[in-house]
Structure 1
Amino acid sequence: MCAKQLLNGKGFKTMQTANEFMAQAARETKLSDFGDDSFKEGLEILLGALESEAALNRAGEGIFEQRILGALKNRLHVEDWYRRHPEIDSEIIVAPLIGISLPRTGSTALSFLLAQDPNARSLRSYESAQPCPPPAMVTGPDPRIQHLNNDETRPKGAKRHVPSAATGPAECQELMALDFKSQLFLAFAQIPTYAQWLLTADLTTTYAYERRVLKLLQWRSPTSPWRLKAPTHLLYLDHLDKVFPDARFVMTHRDPTDVLLSVIYLFDDYTSKLSDHADPHYTAELNINMWKIGIERAMAFRANGNEHRFFDIDFTAMQQQPIAEVTALYQWLDCPVSHEFETGMQNWWQHNAANRERNPKPDPSHYQFDADQVRPLFAEYIQKTQQWLSQ
């Protein structure tokens, strides 16, 4: 669907320019160094799409203003810490384990299980939202945790869709947003110009800045292997590999036709709260195309001499025996599963099962979603999945 069809003539005309946002962030933080200017291209394309395509309502305008300003302020604080402590750059991020699965395949539950390992390190939600000050420099209760619990940058009334906690693991989306190349923005607004640009963008600078923030978070703390994740990584493995060449990957698998409708509903749940003119058919087309390309790129990356870097988990097996699947993953990593780790996983799994929010079953016709037309798009991936899981 073209932008003009999506818009119906209702754009976001009150958005500031990139320079105005940067000036406001500088005033509010009393800082001026944003670091490398690679973020400017994405910021300008995002702002242009928000103005001409998004049809945001007042809630949407407020959330995007907070998110854009927040990302710029976070960059200023990150660069200020590096200015005052240049030794941070000497930190080394060694062999992170990165989840790159499609959404709705059990990858979030897996990330919470991995977060129970006392000898590993996850990107915690409150750090992702506000990386500074680095955790080693905080004494007593961290006010960012309560701040995130009162988060006003989520659409009001939107469901959580997946397990979440301020101190629990987060996807890399917020850190990627610091370079303004993040799928996070696509989940909050219908901005086809930005979406198309993001599919072809080079995210090497995005991952380089993520590594810069991870170094800051790791600084003066015990060095532990990182556990990271984001479905978006499927699209950019060649770029990610340039920055994290020793990364290893875990991939949970489920028939895409069984998950895409749920992903489409998640996007629609957010965008419909932030625009009075959201188009559910556009949301469906966006996700089908995006994840098809992501799967194709991931298969190509694996086939290009990288199969040995992947560990595969079947969704059904993960649901039936989660501890056994994580134990097998750790055997592959050549890492022990301690008693504390295993107990933590069991406790989290039981708690999540007892408190999990039921996900509604979306109506396919609302999104013009035809499973019989979608399934052939992922036929090669389904075949490869069977091969990977049988090895």
Structure 2
Amino acid sequence: MFAMSQAPPMLRMMNVLLRPGMRTRNDPDAAFDKLLATAQRGRAPLGDDDLAALEPLRLLLRANAANPDLSPFGWRTVQEGVQSRILNRVVVRDLQRTHPDVKDQPVPAPIFVIGLPRTGTTFTYNLISRSVGNRGPLLWEMLNLGLPVTDPAQQEKIIAATTKRLSIMDKFSRDWSQVHPLIPTSEEEDFFLRDHSEMHTSAASVPAYRAWVEGADLTSDYVLLREALQVMSYGQEPRRWVLKHPADLWRMPEILNAFPDAQFVWTHRAPGKALASGCSMSEVLRHMHYVEGTVDLNAIGAEWLDLTSRGVEKAIKQRERLDEGVMVDVSYNDLVEEPEKMMHGVFEQLGMRWTEADDANLAVARDRPHHTGHKYTLERYGLDEFQVAAAFAGYKIPPSAGS
């Protein structure tokens, strides 16, 4: 089943304007080398180890170039995403060279909120990250990676520029702000600081890259995340970092390799709703990145069912090898019905103290308006509850922290 969604006028115009740039798809290696050269301009060149670590991003670019449905805007966006990740590494290495003690900045006992979309991850993440003594990476910080900006006027200038840059998304999609609003001053996913994730396959089908990333050990990617966090907090009083990204769920061993004292908070919900939400996000992204009329909804359903069920199966096996106290479980149903009791239990297991400030944060989180304009169902993507139940047969929701 192909989705026939009419592209907004701005997106159609951009695809016309960017059409000449499609020629670079014929030689994605040359395109990658140009992105690398641009990212390094004015900074010390990367060493051999870092250049080797970037090669899978070259694979990501090749895989997108091979997708016949990718539009001119899609190809441009993919290149920008690859370049931003090259630039992250360049910035980190350059600052480690000019400020050698940045490597000594503490990153104490980070907390990773893990779970599939629509399982309460954002609610839980915001409450933990906004508690006194903690912090999550703000979107504007990650999109402008560098040492902390301490001048309020300069900070406001960067935030304003970032807001303007992100606001154009609404001109390219009628639905994106309903699916995943990007707010520069809010905490966001660690995806923006790392090179790799299975979620790169959301915007476009890239089987060659997905085959690589699913079998890869991403320890070095999480080490780069740690180094980026050191840069972002350099010279500041250490706070406990709180991080989130759906694909972190099945990367616990690699995370612990980079952050030996990390703890995990796994949010649980019957997987049908999470799966439909992921498919919906992918559909919206592909309408932005694909030639009009080529988005295959059944293909999205099949990809997300396979991706998430295999990921959860890996996560179940990985948690069996975790030390006691490393994992905290959160039931979505308990979170909805008794959020205060639930979060008190989570804080206790994380070794945190609940304060009046957390009461205020909880009140704000509960009053946050929910998006109602965007609807999604499994059936839209060629799936049903029986298929989902079979694929996730080994997944049982455990007792949660507040029970």
Contact kept, 8 Å, 2:107 with 2:239, in 1: the verdict is: no
User: More displaced, 275-284 or 13-22?
Assistant: 13-22
TM-score normalised by structure 1 residue count: 0.87
Q: Deviations over 1:130-169 (max 9, x none)?
A: 211x225544341332233223585721423246521211
Q: CA separation of 1:390/1:324 partners in 2, compared to 1, >3 Å: closer, same or farther?
A: closer
Equivalent residues in 2 for 1:282-293, closer than 5 Å: 282-293=299-310
1:31 corresponds to which of 23, 43, 53: 43
* One-letter amino acid of the structure 1 residue matched with residue 189 of structure 2: E
Q: Is the 8 A contact 1:95 1:247 kept in 2?
A: yes
Q: Map 1:268-287; keep pairs closer than 5 Å.
A: 268-276=283-291, 277-287=294-304
Distance 2:212 2:169 in 1: 24
1:249 maps to amino acid:
F
For 1:294, the equivalent position in structure 2 comes to 311
Between the two proteins, the alignment pairs up a number of residues equal to 371
Q: Distance in 2 between matches of 1:148 and 1:39?
A: 28
Deviations 1:319-338 (CA, angstroms, capped at 9, x unpaired): 23323322221111222122
| 1:318 is the counterpart of 2:332 | no
Aligned match of 2:130? 116
Partner of 1:74: 88
Find the aligned partners of 2:307 and 2:327 in 1 and give their Cα distance: 22
TM-score by length of 2: 0.85
| Counterpart contact for 2:130–2:136, Cα < 8 Å | no
After superposition, residues 161-240 of structure 1 pair within 5 angstroms as 161-162=179-180, 164-177=182-195, 181-240=196-255
Deviation by residue 1:161-204 (Cα, 9 ceiling, x = unmatched): 24652121111111112xxx123422222211111211111101
For the structure 1 residues 54 and 330, does the alpha-carbon distance in structure 2 shift closer, same or farther, using more than 3 Å as the test? farther
Match of 1:329 in 2: 346
Matched residue SS, 1:150: helix
CA distance in 2, matches of 1:327, 1:81: 39
Q: What is the deviation of 1:292?
A: 1.1
Aligned to 1:3: none
Q: Deviations over 1:80-136 (max 9, x none)?
A: 21111000001121111111111110101211222321321111111122211x225
Percent sequence identity is 22
1:240-287 CA deviation, whole Å, 9 max, x = no partner?
Answer: 111111111101110012321121111111012110223222221221
Does residue 1:260 correspond to 2:275, yes or no? yes
Judge conservation of contact 2:169–2:176 (CA < 8 Å) in 1: no
Per-residue deviation, 1:214? 0.7
Q: Does 1:96 align with 2:96?
A: no
Closer/same/farther in 2, CA of residues 302 and 14 from structure 1, 3 Å limit? same
Paired with 1:85 and 1:366, the residues of 2 have a C-alpha distance of 52
1:41 corresponds in structure 2 to: 55
The answer on whether the counterparts of 1:12 and 1:54 sit within 8 Å (CA) in structure 2 is no
Moved over 4 A (4+): 136-139, 152-155, 387-391
3-state DSSP of counterpart to 2:40: helix
Aligned ranges for residues 10-25 of structure 1 at < 5 Å?
A: 12-13=25-26, 15=28, 16-25=30-39
1:105 lines up with 2:119 in the alignment: yes
Structure 1 stretches lacking a partner, 5+ long: 1-9
CA contact (8 A) 1:116 1:345 kept: no
Partners of 1:211 and 1:325 lie apart in 2 by 29
1:6 corresponds in structure 2 to none
**Matched residues in 2 for 1:209 and 1:227: separation?**
16
What is the RMSD computed on CA atoms of the aligned residues? 2.4
**CA separation in 2, counterparts of 1:54 and 1:306?**
46
Could you tell me whether the CA contact under 8 Å between 1:108 and 1:163 is conserved in 2? no
Query: Aligned-pair distance for 1:357?
Result: 1.6
- The residue aligned with 1:5 is none
Tell me how far 1:24 sits from its aligned partner: 2.2
Structure 2 residue identity aligned to 1:218:
S
